[in-house]
Structure 1
Amino acid sequence: MFTKLLPFSLFLIFLLITLCRSDEDWWKHAVFYQVYPRSFKDSNNDGNGDLSGVIEKLSHLKDAGVNGVWLSPIMKSPQVDAGYDISDYYAIDDLYGNMDDLKKLIEKAHEMGLKIILDFVPNHTSNEHQWFKESENKSDEYKDYYVWKDAKDDGSPPNNWISVFRGSAWKWSDKRKQFYLHHFAEQQPDLNYRNPKVREDMKKVLLYYLDLGADGFRVDAFPFVFEDEQFRDEPRTFKSSAGENDYGYLNHIYTNNLPETYDLLSEWRHLLDEYSKNHEGGARILMTEACADLEQVIRYYGNEDGSKLGAHFSFNFLFISDIHKNISTAHDIVRIIYSWQNALPSIFTSNWVLGNHDNRRIPTRLGVENIDSFNMLVQLLPGIAVTYNGEEFGQEDGEVTYEQGNDPSSRNRSIFESTSRDFERTPIHWDDTTNGGFNDGAKPWLPVSSKYKEVNLASQLDESKLSHYQIYKKLTQKRKEDPARIGSTDAWAISDDVVVLKRSIESKHIVLVFKLGWHGKMEEESVYIPSIKAKEATVALTSVNSAYKIGSIINPQQFKLQPHESLILDISS
Structure 2
Amino acid sequence: MKSWIYLLIGIALIASTQAKAGAPLSEEPGRVLYQVYVETFRDSRDAIGADGSDGFGDFAGLEQKLDYLRGLGVSGLLVMPIFESDDDMGYIPRDFYLLRARYAGNGTQADREESFRSLIRAAHARDIKIYVDAPINHISLRSEWFTNSARRLPGWQDHFLWADRPQDGWRIPWEPSSTPTDVWFYQRERDAYFYALFGWGMPEFNHRNPAVVELFDDFFTYYSAMGADGFRIDAAKHLIEGPTNTVPFVQENIPLLTHYLKTVRARFPGITFMIEVWSGHAEIEAFPHASGDVKFDFPYMETLRDSLKYSHPYGVRNTLDHMMQKQGEFKPGNRIIFAGNHDVARLRTHALNDAPKTELGLALTLTLPFIPLVYYGDEIFMAGEYIRYPKTPEKNVNNVCMPMLWNGEKNAGFTAPGFELPNAWNKKIAPDWRNINVAAQLKNPHGMLRAVQKLLKTRKSLPITNETRFYVDKSNDSDPVLRTAMVFADGSCAVGIYNFSEARQNAQNLDFRAGLPSGCRTSLSSVLLKKRTYTRQDAAIDLDPYGYWIGLGRTN
> Under a length normalisation based on structure 1, what TM-score does the superposition of the two structures give?
0.79
Q: CA deviation at 1:559?
A: 1.9
Deviates more, 1:52-61 or 1:328-337: 328-337
Q: 1:198 to 1:377 in 2, by over 3 A?
A: same
Q: Which residue of 1 aligns with 2:451?
A: 471
Q: 1:295 touches 1:343 (CA, 8 Å); kept in 2?
A: no
Instruction: Measure the CA separation in 1 of the matches of 2:483 and 2:452.
Output: 19
Q: Which residue of 1 aligns with 2:405?
A: 429
Q: 2:359 touches 2:448 (CA, 8 Å); kept in 1?
A: yes
Instruction: Measure the CA separation in 1 of the matches of 2:132 and 2:430.
Output: 27
Q: Which residue of 2 aligns with 1:67?
A: 75
**3-state secondary structure, aligned to 1:275:** coil
1:342 corresponds to 2:325: yes
Q: 1:24 to 1:320 in 2, by over 3 A?
A: closer
Instruction: Measure the CA separation in 1 of the matches of 2:65 and 2:391.
Output: 31
Q: 1:222 touches 1:290 (CA, 8 Å); kept in 2?
A: yes
Q: 1:95 to 1:374 in 2, by over 3 A?
A: same
Q: Which amino acid aligns with 2:314?
A: H
1:78 corresponds to 2:86: yes
Q: Which residue of 2 aligns with 1:154?
A: none
Q: Which amino acid aligns with 1:88?
A: D
Q: How does 1:105-124 map to 2 (within 5 A)?
A: 105-124=119-138
Q: 1:78 touches 1:86 (CA, 8 Å); kept in 2?
A: yes
Instruction: Measure the CA separation in 1 of the matches of 2:21 and 2:96.
Output: 32
Instruction: Measure the CA separation in 1 of the matches of 2:37 and 2:433.
Output: 18
Q: Which residue of 2 aligns with 1:368?
A: 355
Q: CA deviation at 1:410?
A: 7.3
Q: 1:554 to 1:59 in 2, by over 3 A?
A: farther
Q: 1:535 to 1:513 in 2, by over 3 A?
A: closer
Q: How does 1:367-386 map to 2 (within 5 A)?
A: 367-386=354-373
Instruction: Measure the CA separation in 2 of the matches of 1:267 and 1:427.
Output: 38
* Aligned Cα root-mean-square deviation (Å): 2.8
Q: Which residue of 2 aligns with 1:13?
A: none
1:450 corresponds to 2:431: yes
Q: CA deviation at 1:72?
A: 0.3
1:285 corresponds to 2:272: yes
Q: 1:488 to 1:54 in 2, by over 3 A?
A: same
Q: Which amino acid aligns with 1:361?
A: R
Instruction: Measure the CA separation in 1 of the matches of 2:162 and 2:258.
Output: 26
Q: CA deviation at 1:397?
A: 1.5
Q: 2:272 touches 2:292 (CA, 8 Å); kept in 1?
A: yes
**3-state secondary structure, aligned to 2:372:** strand
Give 5+ residue unaligned stretches, structure 1: 1-18, 152-156, 235-251, 278-282, 303-308
Q: Which residue of 2 aligns with 1:567?
A: 549
Q: Which amino acid aligns with 2:381?
A: G
Q: Which residue of 2 aligns with 1:352?
A: 337
Q: Which residue of 1 aligns with 2:59?
A: 51
Q: CA deviation at 1:20?
A: 8.8
**3-state secondary structure, aligned to 2:421:** coil
Q: 1:109 to 1:409 in 2, by over 3 A?
A: farther
Q: CA deviation at 1:99?
A: 2.4
Q: Which residue of 2 aligns with 1:150?
A: 164
Q: How does 1:32-431 map to 2 (within 5 A)?
A: 32-44=33-45, 45-79=53-87, 82-97=89-104, 98-151=112-165, 157-163=166-172, 168-228=182-242, 231-232=243-244, 252-253=246-247, 257-277=249-269, 283-302=270-289, 309-323=290-304, 324=306, 325-327=308-310, 329-346=312-329, 348=331, 349-366=334-351, 367-397=354-384, 411-412=392-393, 416=396, 420=397, 422-431=398-407
Q: 1:24 to 1:150 in 2, by over 3 A?
A: closer
Q: Which residue of 2 aligns with 1:496?
A: 479
Q: 2:195 touches 2:203 (CA, 8 Å); kept in 1?
A: yes
Instruction: Measure the CA separation in 2 of the matches of 1:293 and 1:452.
Output: 37
Q: 1:178 to 1:556 in 2, by over 3 A?
A: farther
Q: 1:134 to 1:560 in 2, by over 3 A?
A: same
Q: Which amino acid aligns with 1:139?
A: L
Give 5+ residue unaligned stretches, structure 2: 1-19, 46-52, 105-111, 514-519
Instruction: Measure the CA separation in 2 of the matches of 1:380 and 1:490.
Output: 13
Q: 1:298 touches 1:344 (CA, 8 Å); kept in 2?
A: no
Q: CA deviation at 1:165?
A: 9.5
Q: 1:192 touches 1:198 (CA, 8 Å); kept in 2?
A: yes
Instruction: Measure the CA separation in 2 of the matches of 1:433 and 1:410.
Output: 39
Q: 2:524 touches 2:540 (CA, 8 Å); kept in 1?
A: no
**3-state secondary structure, aligned to 2:133:** strand
Instruction: Measure the CA separation in 2 of the matches of 1:267 and 1:483.
Output: 33
Q: CA deviation at 1:54?
A: 0.9
Q: Deviations over 1:115-170 (max 9, x none)?
A: 1111111110101111111111111111111100002xxxxx22242247975101
Q: 1:301 touches 1:314 (CA, 8 Å); kept in 2?
A: no
Aligned with residue 542 of structure 1, among 530, 536, 539: 530
**3-state secondary structure, aligned to 1:90:** strand
Instruction: Measure the CA separation in 1 of the matches of 2:236 and 2:483.
Output: 35
Q: 1:476 to 1:533 in 2, by over 3 A?
A: closer
Q: 1:410 to 1:428 in 2, by over 3 A?
A: farther
Q: CA deviation at 1:227?
A: 1.8
**3-state secondary structure, aligned to 1:180:** strand
Q: CA deviation at 1:60?
A: 1.1
**3-state secondary structure, aligned to 2:44:** coil
Q: Deviations over 1:410-465 (max 9, x none)?
A: 7446x63xxx4x12222221122212222124315421221222222212224x82
Q: Which residue of 1 aligns with 2:9?
A: none
Q: CA deviation at 1:329?
A: 2.2
**3-state secondary structure, aligned to 1:73:** coil
Larger relative contact order, structure 1 or 2 (CA cutoff 8 Å, min sep 6): 2
Instruction: Measure the CA separation in 1 of the matches of 2:70 and 2:252.
Output: 39
Q: 1:174 to 1:24 in 2, by over 3 A?
A: closer
Q: CA deviation at 1:556?
A: 6.2
1:513 corresponds to 2:497: yes
Q: Which amino acid aligns with 1:159?
A: D
Instruction: Measure the CA separation in 2 of the matches of 1:101 and 1:294.
Output: 39
Instruction: Measure the CA separation in 2 of the matches of 1:38 and 1:148.
Output: 34
Q: 1:397 to 1:164 in 2, by over 3 A?
A: farther
Instruction: Measure the CA separation in 1 of the matches of 2:204 and 2:21.
Output: 40
